Structure 1
Amino acid sequence: MPELPDWALTGEPTIEGEDYYYDGPYMVFTEKYHLKRGYCCGSGCRHCPWKVEQPK
Structure 2
Amino acid sequence: MNRQLIEGKDFYYDEHGYVVFTEAYHISKGYCCGHGCRHCPFDYESVPEPKRSELLTQKQKATEPKA
Q: Which structure: greater helix fraction?
A: 2
Aligned length: 47
Q: Which runs of 5+ in 2 are unaligned?
A: 51-67
Structure with the greater relative contact order (CA < 8 A, sep ≥ 6): 1 or 2?
1
Identity of aligned residues (%): 55
* Residue pairs, 1:1-56, within 5 angstroms: 10-23=1-14, 24-52=16-44, 54=47, 55-56=49-50
Q: For 2:24 and 2:32, how far apart are their aligned partners in 1?
A: 13
Q: For 2:28 and 2:3, how far apart are their aligned partners in 1?
A: 9
Q: Calculate the TM-score normalised by the size of structure 2.
A: 0.63
Larger radius of gyration: 2
> Is this contact kept in 2: 1:21–1:27, CA < 8 A?
yes
- TM-superposed deviation, 1:34: 0.3
AA matched with 2:9: E
Q: Which runs of 5+ in 1 are unaligned?
A: 1-9
